[in-house]
């Protein structure tokens, strides 16, 4: 027999020549073979799944699944032919099978999610149910063609969604009231804000004018001192390289000290600023706390009073904030003025100290250079004279005019004495006729030279020239 199935049907053939089963749309049925016709069109299954969220809140999930055999996959079609086709698609067996899979997976998934997540993420919840149910239906060769999850429904005695809707309506109404009150508040606060900003800007301009005047005076003095100092420093710049290291060290120390003082002032100001900010935050949190409490307890009957209190709290907070900002601004400007004056005074003192230090160092360098030059001069002379210290001493005394000075002093000592030498001889000596009598007296004068030479040698260490005579300390000077 030749059998042909309709468009929505398939033939399942078993028997001789077929190891397991054979699925076809048309085929010859040979002797020893049997066949069955089964419908592959999908069927709608309607369920109301009762599940429970992670907060133990029960709800009902109405759903409609369109399920049928997977006709585009031979392996899935074989599974369906073996397991499901012997039963009617609308029988309780098939329906209970599908319903059990859907209810089981839906309950497991709902138990891992909160009610808020299920309610807000209906699309994602539906997709996860679809995927998990499809994974189980693959064992039976079934395919979910369509799945529709309807609106979540409360279980009698648990009106969660009803209360949630009422809450949304109340929040919308309250938000509208809040928006109206905020619009009024912004108008009143805006007017007050403009007045406060006008006063604040006037005070700010006065303070800045005083600060700028003080800064200009300090800068003028600073520039005058700087010009005078730079002229002096420029003239001696090349000789100041040795002093630069010490000056830089002193500069760094003073800079560190200045930075430490500035850091202390800034830390105190930061603490004051942070204190004001924290106070403002505390006031805001207190206002928010009171607002939430009033909303929870007296939302319906005390809304007007609540808005009034909120506006008063905001205005009081605003006044405190502006007062704190004005106080902080005044303190910062005073600190800046003090800082500028201190820097100018420090710079002036530093330039004076640097100038004195530079002069002292240059004086010391001059003395050192003079001593080094004299030492080099003496060493050069001593080398040129062959290391003869006596010759070097004689040269220095001659070049220094020592002998001329001694002669001058001796001459000054005997000036005015006008010494005269008179030689008296008796007649007997003159009668000798050779004139030796007078010469003897002159020779007596020359006898006084050795004691004179000895005195000069003791005072200066100098010896008379050899053509004039020699000194012998062991002999009688008069006999040399």
Residues 54 and 7 grouped into a single domain: no
β-pairing verdict for 58-69 and 26-28 = unpaired
Residues 65 and 152 grouped into a single domain: yes
Residues 92 and 54 grouped into a single domain: yes
For the whole model, what pTM was predicted?
0.34
Question: Domain for residue 426, yes or no?
Answer: no
Measured CA distances, 384 to 201, 364, 371, 417 (Å): 87, 30, 20, 44
Instruction: Give helix 241-298 / helix 303-384 axis angle, nearest 10°.
Output: 170
Residues 35 and 53 grouped into a single domain: no
Q: pLDDT at position 476, please?
A: 45
Question: Domain for residue 194, yes or no?
Answer: no
C-alpha 220/C-alpha 64 separation (Å) is 90
Q: pLDDT at position 179, please?
A: 75
Q: pLDDT at position 100, please?
A: 86
C-alpha 189/C-alpha 304 separation (Å) is 18
Residues 57 and 27 grouped into a single domain: no
- Residues 6 or more apart in contact with residue 262 via CB below 8 angstroms: 339
Residues 31 and 48 grouped into a single domain: no
C-alpha 87/C-alpha 97 separation (Å) is 12
Q: pLDDT at position 336, please?
A: 84
Question: Domain for residue 428, yes or no?
Answer: no
Q: pLDDT at position 304, please?
A: 64
Residues 3 and 79 grouped into a single domain: no
Q: pLDDT at position 164, please?
A: 63
Mean pLDDT of the chain: 76
Of the residues 158, 190, 217, which one is the last residue of a structural domain? 158
Question: Domain for residue 20, yes or no?
Answer: yes
Residues 47 and 124 grouped into a single domain: yes
Question: Can you give the CATH number for the domain in which 128 is found?
Answer: 3.30.479.30
Question: Domain for residue 369, yes or no?
Answer: no
Question: Domain for residue 133, yes or no?
Answer: yes
Residues 131 and 52 grouped into a single domain: yes
Residue spans of the chain under pLDDT 70: 89-90, 119-122, 151-169, 172-173, 240, 242-243, 294-304, 306, 403, 413-453, 456-480
The residue whose two tokens read 């003082």 is 261
Cβ atoms < 10 Å from Cβ of 140: 20
Question: Domain for residue 6, yes or no?
Answer: yes
Q: Provide the token pair at 334.
A: 């005073």
Q: pLDDT at position 372, please?
A: 85
The total of structural domains in the chain comes to 2
| Domain of 34, in residue numbers | 1-39
C-alpha 140/C-alpha 134 separation (Å) is 10
Question: Domain for residue 462, yes or no?
Answer: no
Residues 15 and 62 grouped into a single domain: no
Of the residues 135, 158, 181, which one is the last residue of a structural domain? 158
């Amino acid at each position: 027999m030749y059998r042909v199935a309709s468009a929505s049907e398939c033939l399942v053939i078993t028997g001789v020549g077929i190891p397991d089963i054979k699925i076809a749309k048309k085929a010859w049925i040979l002797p020893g073979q049997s066949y069955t016709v089964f419908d592959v069109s999908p069927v709608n299954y309607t369920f109301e799944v009762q599940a429970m969220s992670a907060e133990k809140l029960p709800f009902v999930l109405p759903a409609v699944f369109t399920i049928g055999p997977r006709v585009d996959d031979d392996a899935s079609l074989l599974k369906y032919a073996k397991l499901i086709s012997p039963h009617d698609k609308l029988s309780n067996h098939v329906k209970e099978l599908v319903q059990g899979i859907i209810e089981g997976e839906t309950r497991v998934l709902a138990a891992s999610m909160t009610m808020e997540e299920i309610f807000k993420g209906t699309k994602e919840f539906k997709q996860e149910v679809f995927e998990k149910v499809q994974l189980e239906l693959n064992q039976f060769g079934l395919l979910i063609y369509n799945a529709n999850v309807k609106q979540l429904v409360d279980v009698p005695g648990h009106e969660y969604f009803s209360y949630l809707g009422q809450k949304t309506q109340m929040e919308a109404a309250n938000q509208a009231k809040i928006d109206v009150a905020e619009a009024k508040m912004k108008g009143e606060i805006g007017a007050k804000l403009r007045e406060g900003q006008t006063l604040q800007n006037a005070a700010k301009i006065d303070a800045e004018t005083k600060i700028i005047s003080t800064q200009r005076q300090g800068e003028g003095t600073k520039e005058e001192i700087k010009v005078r100092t730079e002229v002096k420093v420029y003239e001696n710049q090349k000789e100041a390289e040795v002093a630069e290291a010490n000056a830089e060290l002193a500069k760094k120390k003073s800079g560190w000290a200045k930075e430490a003082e500035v850091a202390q002032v800034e830390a105190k100001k930061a603490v004051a600023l942070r204190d004001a900010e924290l106070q403002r935050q505390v006031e805001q949190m207190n206002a928010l706390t009171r607002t939430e409490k009033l909303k929870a307890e007296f939302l319906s009957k005390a809304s007007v009073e609540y808005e009034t209190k909120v506006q008063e709290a905001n205005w009081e907070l605003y006044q405190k904030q502006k007062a704190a900002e004005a106080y902080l601004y005044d303190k910062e400007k005073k600190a800046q003025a003090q800082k500028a004056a201190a820097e100018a005074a420090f710079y002036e003192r530093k330039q004076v100290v640097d100038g004195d230090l530079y002069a002292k160092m240059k004086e010391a360098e001059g003395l050192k250079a003079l001593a080094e030059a004299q030492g080099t001069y003496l060493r050069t002379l001593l080398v040129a004279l062959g290391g003869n210290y006596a010759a070097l001493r004689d040269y220095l005394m001659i070049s220094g005019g020592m002998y001329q000075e001694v002669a001058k002093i001796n001459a000054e000592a005997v000036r005015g004495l006008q010494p005269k030498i008179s030689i008296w001889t008796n007649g007997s000596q003159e009668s000798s006729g050779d004139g030796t009598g007078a010469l003897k007296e002159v020779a007596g004068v020359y006898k006084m030279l050795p004691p004179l030479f000895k005195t000069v040698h003791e005072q200066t260490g100098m010896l008379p020239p050899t053509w004039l005579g020699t000194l012998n300390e062991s002999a009688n000077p008069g006999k040399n």
